[in-house]
């Protein structure tokens, strides 16, 4: 028992190492609410428990039910005194718990890891196997996203898209921390421990963070659906767009996680699958990292209403200007967009739509688009920034402005007046 | 379809090789009419390839949509690269407001009277030596 405890503590420490390294790498420079981060981390850990319970049912053979039944009956005969209660326990154990558990385990087994062995022996069906790994991967994502969403409901932590990504990553890290403890404990002492340890702390942890990060990104987008809707010209009501975005993030995270888990499992039979799994994680991780670097992601969109300043622009002009900004943005006149947005924000400092257009244009000017950045690195080309701006292209006018008091202008005015009088006289003459 | 009227008049400059047109736009420029009406201005610009200046009288223009602002910017590009100038006269506050935020008033100044506009178009800024060569006898 004591050695079991010390092994648990050892595995806990071993799992904590990657957490500290990852957190240090990710958030050393950035500000993040430490208390909320800790709570989310704990939440991530907690989500492991129901999943492991479920997985336990999955892999336990139906015969184990007899053992459970015996334990329950032993317990009641040893500690309970009331005959009625003992009868009830024995009824419950033999007629309710036993058959129900038997059925659950039998069904669970059909899709279980035991089938994996049957596949390896050529007697099982792959159809049962793949959905199992997909299913667990998906369940993990469902639980992790629930942590972020409930934390945001309670603490209102997501004020910019990147907040959402960061906190979601913390939830993923918490999950992988708890999962690692259990895996390390099971694998302790085996030959493969070191390779498993290294693989898990690097790739599996990064994977959990990356999948959660993707969900976090879409959750963040969904929170600012109204703003994003205006910027991206989406049609439909805000609530639908919001739900669609959350769902999209969840589905992408689930599918990628499922592919990752499946390829890790398949790699036990077919080695190259492992390389694919690593490649998948590394590329998603780089993509998520670059996504976090974008300015648009850091833009604080959830502002305190009591601090907001009112606009000094009339509604119709605002619409006209937003249309113009949108058109120019799509025509890649990014410098113009930034200039117009700057002047717009002087008049209406809290307009989120304008703020988002401005930062997105800046991201384009500075070449912060993740896909382009990756592509340019691969092709070894400098980031090409296209800009079709016009306002800067032309020199400010060579028209005089402050001449109203000059002698020349007064003379000109007199001449014009004289001309008018002439014309009038001329017209009168004709009559 | 909203009503908009565009009239184009010649302005006597007293200078050779300098063409100034007064473009008066009244009504509302919006999605329903802006594409059609803008062709008038494009034709005008293409007929006079160089030294054409435009004075826009917007006294009775109630509203400009985003597209018309885009056109205005485009005309400015064409006119200024062909040695011309562009000014606006008497824009209503809401129109002037939009143009100011867009930044067009830095390129196309707004004046309160036609005389000021004419004077500004016909007289070069003294400080800029590379200002376009005016007609020889002026």
Q: Where are the domains of chain B?
A: 4-122
Q: Which comes out higher in pLDDT, residue A171 or A301?
A: A171
Q: Which two tokens stand for residue A48?
A: 């492991």
| A341, A400, A403, best to mutate vs chain B, most B CBs in 10 Å | A400
Which pLDDT belongs to residue A148? 87
Kindly tell me if the per-residue pLDDT of B129 is higher than 50.
no
Query: Alpha carbon of A187 to those of A182, A200, A267, B67: distances in Å?
Result: 9, 12, 18, 67
Q: Which comes out higher in pLDDT, residue A69 or A55?
A: A69
Q: Which two tokens stand for residue A83?
A: 């005959």
Architecture of domain B4-122: 2-Layer Sandwich (3.30)
Residue with tokens 């079991």: A4
Cα(A323)–Cα(B34) distance, integer angstroms: 15
pLDDT band at A314 (very low <50, low <70, confident <90, very high): confident
Model confidence pLDDT, tens digit, residues B10-23: 887 777 777 888 89
Kindly tell me if the per-residue pLDDT of A200 is higher than 70.
yes
Model confidence pLDDT, tens digit, residues A387-401: 666 676 665 556 666
Q: Quick check: B2 contacting A, CB < 8 Å?
A: no
The answer for A30, left when phi > 0, alpha when psi is -120 to 50, beta otherwise, is beta
Average pLDDT, chain B: 81
Cα(B45)–Cα(A398) distance, integer angstroms: 19
Which pLDDT belongs to residue A177? 92
Contact A316 B94 (CB under 8 A): yes
Give percent above pLDDT 90 in chain B: 3
Cα(A122)–Cα(A119) distance, integer angstroms: 5
Q: Which comes out higher in pLDDT, residue A67 or A268?
A: A67
Which pLDDT belongs to residue A400? 67
Q: Nearest Cα to A26, choosing from A206, A156, A152?
A: A206
At a CB cut-off of 8 Å and minimum separation 6, what does A3 contact?
none
Contact B101 A400 (CB under 8 A): no
Whole-complex ipTM: 0.80
Average pLDDT, chain A: 78
Contact B65, B31 (CB under 8 A): yes
Q: What is the mean pLDDT of residues B62-74?
A: 88
Which pLDDT belongs to residue B134? 45
pLDDT band at B133 (very low <50, low <70, confident <90, very high): very low
The size of the A-B interface in CB pairs under 8 A is: 103
Give percent above pLDDT 90 in chain A: 1
Least confident residue range of A216-225, A391-400, B16-25, B60-69? A391-400
Which pLDDT belongs to residue A128? 57
Q: What is the mean pLDDT of residues A147-161?
A: 83
Query: Which residues in chain B are contacts of A398 at CB distance < 8 A?
Result: 85, 124-125, 128, 131-132
Kindly tell me if the per-residue pLDDT of A375 is higher than 80.
no
Q: Nearest Cα to B77, choosing from B54, B61, B110?
A: B54
| B10, B14, B66, B108, best to mutate vs chain A, most A CBs in 10 Å | B66
Which pLDDT belongs to residue A315? 81
Q: Which two tokens stand for residue A40?
A: 């989310």
Kindly tell me if the per-residue pLDDT of A337 is higher than 80.
yes
Nearest CA of chain B to the CA of A296: how many Å?
A: 22
At a CB cut-off of 8 Å and minimum separation 6, what does B7 contact?
B23, B24
Q: What is the mean pLDDT of residues B99-115?
A: 87
Dihedral of CA A88/A94/A97/A99: which sign? Answer: negative
Which pLDDT belongs to residue A110? 66
Q: What is the mean pLDDT of residues B28-52?
A: 84
């Amino acid at each position: 028992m004591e050695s079991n405890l010390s092994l648990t503590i050892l595995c806990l420490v071993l799992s904590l190492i990657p957490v500290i390294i990852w957190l240090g790498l990710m958030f050393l420079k950035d500000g993040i609410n430490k208390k909320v981060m800790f709570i989310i981390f704990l939440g991530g850990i907690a989500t492991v428990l129901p999943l492991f319970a479920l997985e336990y049912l999955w892999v336990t053979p139906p015969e184990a039910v007899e053992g459970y039944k015996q334990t329950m009956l032993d317990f009641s005969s040893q500690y309970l005194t009331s005959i009625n209660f003992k009868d009830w326990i024995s009824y419950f154990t033999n007629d309710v718990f036993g058959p129900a558990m038997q059925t659950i385990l039998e069904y669970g087994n059909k899709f279980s890891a035991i089938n994996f062995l049957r596949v390896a022996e050529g007697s099982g069906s792959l159809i049962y196997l793949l959905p199992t790994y997909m299913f667990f991967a998906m369940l993990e994502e469902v639980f992790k996203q629930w942590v972020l969403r409930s934390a945001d409901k309670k603490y209102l932590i997501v004020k910019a898209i990147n907040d959402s990504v960061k906190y979601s990553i913390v939830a993923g890290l918490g999950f992988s921390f708890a999962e690692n403890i259990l895996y390390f404990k099971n694998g302790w002492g085996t030959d493969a421990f070191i390779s498993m340890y290294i693989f898990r702390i690097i790739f599996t942890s990064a994977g959990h963070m990356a999948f959660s990060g993707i969900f976090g990104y879409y959750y963040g987008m969904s929170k600012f659906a109204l703003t994003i809707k205006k910027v991206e010209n989406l049609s439909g009501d805000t609530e639908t767009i919001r739900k669609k975005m959350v769902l999209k993030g969840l589905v992408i995270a689930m599918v990628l996680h499922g592919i990752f888990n499946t390829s890790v499992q398949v790699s036990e039979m077919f080695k190259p699958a492992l390389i694919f799994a690593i490649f998948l994680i590394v590329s998603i991780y780089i993509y998520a990292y670059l996504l976090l670097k974008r300015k648009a992601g850091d833009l604080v969109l959830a502002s305190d209403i009591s601090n907001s300043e009112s606009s000094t622009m009339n509604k119709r002009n605002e619409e006209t200007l937003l249309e113009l900004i949108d058109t120019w943005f799509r025509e890649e006149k990014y410098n113009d967009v930034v200039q117009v947005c700057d002047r717009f924000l002087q008049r209406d400092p809290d307009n989120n739509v304008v703020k988002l257009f401005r930062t997105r244009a800046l991201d384009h000017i500075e070449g912060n688009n993740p896909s382009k950045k990756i592509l340019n690195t691969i092709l070894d080309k400098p980031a090409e920034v296209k800009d079709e701006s016009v306002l800067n292209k032309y020199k400010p006018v060579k028209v005089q402005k402050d001449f109203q008091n000059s002698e020349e202008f007064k003379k000109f005015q007199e001449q014009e007046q004289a001309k008018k009088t002439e014309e009038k006289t001329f017209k009168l003459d004709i009559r | 379809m909203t009503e908009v009227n565009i009239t184009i008049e010649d302005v006597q400059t007293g200078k050779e090789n300098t063409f100034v047109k007064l473009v008066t736009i009244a009504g509302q420029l919006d999605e329903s009419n802006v594409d059609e009406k803008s062709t008038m201005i494009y034709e005008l610009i293409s007929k006079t390839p160089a030294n054409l200046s435009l004075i826009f009288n917007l006294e009775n223009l109630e509203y400009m949509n985003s597209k018309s602002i885009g056109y205005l910017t485009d005309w400015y590009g064409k006119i200024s690269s062909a040695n011309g100038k562009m000014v606006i006269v008497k824009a209503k506050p809401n129109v002037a407001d939009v143009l100011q935020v867009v930044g067009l008033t830095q390129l196309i100044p707004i004046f309160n009277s036609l005389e000021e506009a004419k004077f500004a178009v016909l007289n070069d800024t003294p400080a800029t030596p590379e200002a376009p060569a005016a007609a020889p006898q002026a």
